[in-house]
Structure 1
Amino acid sequence: MIPIRYNLRSLAVRKTTTIATGLGVALVVYVFASALMLAEGIRRTLTTSGSPNAAMVMRKGSDNELSSVVETPTMSLLLAAPGVKREVSLPLGAGEIVAVNAMEKIGANGISNVQLRGVTDVSLKLRPEFKIVEGKAPSPGSDEVLVGERIRGRFRGLEIGQTFELKKNRHAKVVGVFSAGGSSYESEVWVDLEVLRTVFRREGVVSSVHVLLDSPASFDAFRAVVEQDKRLGLLAMREVEYFEKQSEGTSKLLSGLGSIIAFFFAIGAMIGAMITMYAAVANRQREIGTLRALGFPRWSILFSFLLESVSLAIMGGLVGVIPSLLMGFVKISMMNFASWSEIVFEFRPTPEILIGSVVLSGFVGLIGGFFPAVRAARVSAVTAMRA
């Protein structure tokens, strides 16, 4: 077996090509890891919006709350269903209205949709992670609103003390900022339910009904009551399941785009590694001949050159992982195609993503170095010594 220090010395001697190839692999790993981190951030943001003890009811056939309509009289049936948790004999459930408002983005010449949610006092009890981090709670029935801390300041009028138009000639004032455990709720503006109902003319209906269950096991009994009357046309689902479906489209799109970009970068990195290793074989003909004369078999030379290529790629991969970790401090806003509103996401590094990215770099080095290694193994000892 050829000593590993021989390969490390060879990489150190060829500094320029080693650095160039390593940086190419680092770029591949950086792009690939960042795309996966963003997809994971989207999934985590939306799935943490739901609780395993909570369920929601929408109109059957609706893809999201924005397109759903549930008649208010139906709520009494839903809140009386078995499994709904009660507090001092009152069911913990509330109807909510979801709407979108086109607003001007700060720092960008454009307009995007912001999701508005009409809530009640019970709505806050359904989300134990809810907390006002600055300002105060809105007065009931007033045009005062709460803004999620992730979307705060990203649109004009969404800072404490500022106002914005809910609809033409109807202004709302921001009086507080809330957090919700890093969930997608932090990208919403919460308005009093009756105010939002009046502004958007949703009298007699809500978009969805959210309830807190006694336990996750109570869901089946609750769903059976909700869906048994086919005339109502209602669908019950766990909140966690709903938000997982909301994240699928966007996360798959970003993962796919990131993978495609990383694929083409990986092809370039493989070609770079291949060129580097072919040059190494050409410049080290005598070394290869000496190794063969010393009795090292062809498979040992093949393994040595492959090890050198893979080591170079993995070192480049480790270099690419470091800046990708810094992306964990970055938050970006983009359109969620499920709700057609702006949501703020963050990059979420996980051990699986980091390890997988480094493994990818090793694969790039393995493919890029395979054919040069085969060529090195086929070099004749006599021919090499005469070179």
Structure 2
Amino acid sequence: MRSDRIILMSTGAASAVQSSIAKDGLPLIYDLPGIRRNPDGSAVAAAQAMVFMQARNKVTGRPMGFSMIGVTSGHAGVRPELRLTSGRMFQSGLHELIASNRCAHQFPDFAVGEKRVMRGTEWVVVGNFNLGDREGMCVAFADADTVLSAFRINTYNQVMVLLESPGTFAQITDALKANPTLRVEARREAEVAEQSMKHFNGMLNFVTWFIGAIMGVAATIGAANSLYAIVDSRRRELATLCALGFTPGPIVTSILAEAILLSLPGALIGVGLAWLFFNGFTASPFGFSFQLAVTAPIAGLGIAWALGMGVVGGLLPAVKAARLPVTTALRAT
């Protein structure tokens, strides 16, 4: 994500799919103040028309969706992180496309030289590329006019723009407010990406917390059972401490401390295994991929959860140990 790159969509559109920008509005957009200019004075901006396609996964055979984006001639300037790894760039006016390496890895017929039939027309894959921090996404680019014609659409979804500097964002938003006839609003790239992933992140968070809660309850019950067994095996020792004048407070504290000490090795082992097997692991659930990262804050949260479960699991056995009648405990075998 770049702080000096913004995306223009129609006012009120929740996403690029719902946005619509007419062709005759592009000259007005390109003349807005605050946009970076090429040496010839043209705006460093590119209009995009997005269509969604399906292809079958090489491994599972299931259909998965991906985006094909028709882009205007300024696309290379507005996405300097795009790097061709094989082949060449598509040519205007031809049914050619370039596909990300992720597409070539996931789906058949996306390597250079392959051909795909879309809307009754044969499209040729002429290049593969990486896209910086979005390398894991499957996306294809083609000439905007060719896409508009092939898919019979006459408006763009969004315009991507490079600013003179991140500080000129306010300048361009003020200019758009001053010209309501455009009915376009500017959004920072990070904001658009966060919004587009909002529902998916919500689903992942729900699944994470739901499964984590179930596993946490099971681990807590297991810890409680283990500590109940430990307390039962030490009834005479605990009764002796009470007979020597120890109050329930220190006994409860000692049991809880033991629960924490028993939980700590398990927490460290769990974090170590998570880092070993999942740090840097690439998941591809719905046609795009993302990397899992076991960071220090996440590791700390996991350890804290483990210690918390140890405390909760040890609380009832600790209370039982403190309330154990001395005479009954001393008669225990």
Shared fold per TM-score greater than 0.5: yes
Q: Is the 8 A contact 2:92 2:146 kept in 1?
A: no
Residue from 134, 141, 149 that aligns with 1:190: 141
User: Structure 2 matches for 1:1-387, cutoff 5 A?
Assistant: 48=1, 51-88=2-39, 89-168=41-120, 170-183=121-134, 186-203=137-154, 205-293=155-243, 296-325=246-275, 326-335=277-286, 342-387=287-332
TM-score (norm 2): 0.92
Q: Count residues in correspondence.
A: 330
CA drift at 1:141: 3.2
Residues 384 and 59 of structure 1: is their aligned pair in 2 closer, same or farther, counting only changes over 3 Å? same
* Unaligned segments of structure 1, at least 5 residues: 1-47, 336-341
Q: Distance in 2 between matches of 1:301 and 1:243?
A: 53
Whole-Å separation in 2 of the counterparts to 1:252 and 1:290: 54
Structure 1 segments (4+ residues) deviating >6 Å:
none
Q: Compared with structure 1, are the counterparts of its residues 198 and 265 closer, same or farther at alpha carbon in structure 2 (3 Å cutoff)? A: same
Q: Which has the higher contact order (CA 8 A, sep 6+)?
A: 1
CA distance in 1, matches of 2:109, 2:91: 19
Any gaps of 5 or more consecutive residues in structure 2?
A: none
Letter in 1 for 2:140: V
> Which letter does structure 1 place at the counterpart of 2:161?
V
CA distance in 2, matches of 1:334, 1:260: 18
Distance between the aligned counterparts of 2:51 and 2:61, measured in 1?
23
TM-score, structure 1 normalization: 0.80
- The offset of 1:121, in angstroms, is 4.0
Aligned-pair distance for 1:293? 4.7
CA displacement, residues 124-174 of structure 1 (integer Å, 9 cap, x when unaligned): 211232212233323343333222223332122122332222322x12222
Code of the residue aligned with 2:119 in structure 1: it is: K
The answer to which of 365-374 and 312-321 deviates more is 312-321
Q: Please, which moves more after superposition, 291-300 or 53-62?
A: 291-300
CA deviation vs aligned residue, 1:20-46 (integer Å, no higher than 9, x gap): xxxxxxxxxxxxxxxxxxxxxxxxxxx
- Tell me by how many angstroms 1:296 deviates: 4.4
Give the whole-Å Cα distance in 1 for the aligned partners of 2:113 and 2:58. Answer: 17
Taking the aligned partners of 1:243 and 1:161, their CA distance within structure 2 comes to 31
Which one is further off, 255-264 or 372-381?
372-381
> Among the aligned pairs, what percent are the same residue?
26
- Structure 2 residue identity aligned to 1:363: G
RMSD of aligned residue pairs (Cα, Å): 2.0
Q: CA deviation at 1:384?
A: 2.4
Q: Provide the secondary structure at the position in 2 that maps to 1:138.
A: coil
Partner amino acid, structure 1, of 2:223: A
